[in-house]
């Protein structure tokens, strides 16, 4: 799958409730805003990039890529970011990453693309080992065919908000990221400022 066929979106549209309501994507991580760190990690892996954010839009626009607020009202969750990005995506595929998981793999998109191609899937979703040792799906880390927009519009219009409830309607390749050499912290997300600071130190 050519790089130029994939647009990446950094999901930074949440309320940041567990961080006390701060704008999570603008918190400092290794000397730069968390969402900018995530964008810089994603950009070499895709043909184009954008950010989904719902406040401080000027700050996000300073990162140099298009910024789009949710098309659904009231902080409707990550699926609202999927929907917003699919509506704006001009390539055959969209890949989604949350802003609060800054150590995701540098070959992340390539491995999802390979999984989708191998299984003829419409969606590829990452799976990773969590701290308890269990391999679990990571629904906010998805590669999606842009044609799925109509399906997602209908799902959200009917009140659906759970990513896996929607992806379960489509042929989905689950791509494990637990090979030897994979960083066990690659999919750890920072829900608090303390967790974010811990991720700064190996």
The answer on pLDDT for 48 being more than 80 is yes
Residue 77 annotated in ligand binding: no
| Residue 56 labelled as part of a binding site | no
All structural domains of the chain with their residue ranges: 3-199
Confidence of residue 18 (pLDDT cuts 50, 70, 90): low
Cβ neighbours for 20, distance < 8 A, ≥ 6 positions apart: 193
Query: Does 11 carry a binding-site annotation?
Result: yes
Q: Which two tokens stand for residue 28?
A: 């400092």
Q: d(Cα 129, Cα 146) in Å, to the nearest integer?
A: 28
What DSSP letter does each residue of 164-193 carry, written as one string? HHHHTTS-EEEEE--STT--TTTT----SH
User: Does 81 show up as a binding residue in the annotation?
Assistant: no
Cα–Cα nearest to 54, from 34, 33, 38, 76: 76
Measure the CA–CA gap between 166 and 151, rounded to whole angstroms: 8
What number of H helices and E strands is found in the chain? Answer: 7, 9
* Spatial distance between the Cα atoms of 163 and 174, rounded to a whole number of angstroms: 14
> What pLDDT, in 10s, does the model give residues 56-66?
999 999 999 99
**What is the model's pTM?**
0.92
Q: Which residues 6+ apart lie within 8 Å of 145 measured at CB?
A: 92, 93, 122, 123
Per residue in 146-195, pLDDT tens? Answer: 999 999 999 988 988 899 999 999 999 999 999 999 998 899 888 888 88
Q: How many angstroms separate the CA atoms of 91 and 7, rounded?
A: 6
Angle between helices 149-157 and 78-88 (to 10 degrees): 140
Name the residue with tokens 């799925």. Answer: 148
59 annotated to bind ligand: no
Return the sign of the alpha-carbon dihedral for residues 22, 49, 140, 84.
Answer: positive
52 in a known ligand binding site: yes
State yes or no: 70 annotated in a binding site: yes
Is 3-199 assigned to CATH 3.90.550.10? yes
Q: In percent, how much of the chain has pLDDT > 90? A: 71
What would the pLDDT profile of 99-113 be if each residue is shown by its tens digit? 999 999 999 999 999
């Amino acid at each position: 799958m050519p790089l130029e066929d994939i647009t990446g979106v950094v999901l930074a549209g949440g309320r940041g409730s567990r961080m006390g309501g701060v704008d999570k994507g603008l918190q400092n991580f290794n000397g730069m805003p968390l969402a900018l760190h995530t964008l810089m990690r994603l950009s070499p892996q895709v043909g184009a990039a954008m950010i989904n954010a719902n406040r401080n839009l000027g700050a996000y626009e300073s990162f140099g890529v298009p910024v789009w607020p949710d098309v659904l009202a009231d902080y409707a969750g990550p699926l609202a970011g999927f929907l917003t990005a699919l509506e704006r995506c001009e390539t055959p595929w969209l890949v989604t990453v949350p802003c609060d998981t800054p150590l995701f793999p540098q070959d992340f998109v390539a491995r999802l693309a390979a999984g989708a191609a191998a299984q003829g899937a419409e969606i590829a979703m990452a799976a990773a080992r969590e701290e308890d040792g269990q391999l679990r799906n990571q629904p906010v880390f998805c590669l999606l065919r842009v044609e799925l927009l109509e399906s997602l519009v209908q799902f959200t219009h009917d009140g659906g908000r759970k990513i896996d409830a929607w992806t379960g309607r489509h042929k989905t390749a689950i791509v494990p990221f637990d090979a030897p050499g994979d960083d066990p912290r690659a999919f750890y997300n920072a829900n608090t400022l303390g967790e974010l600071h811990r991720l700064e130190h190996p």
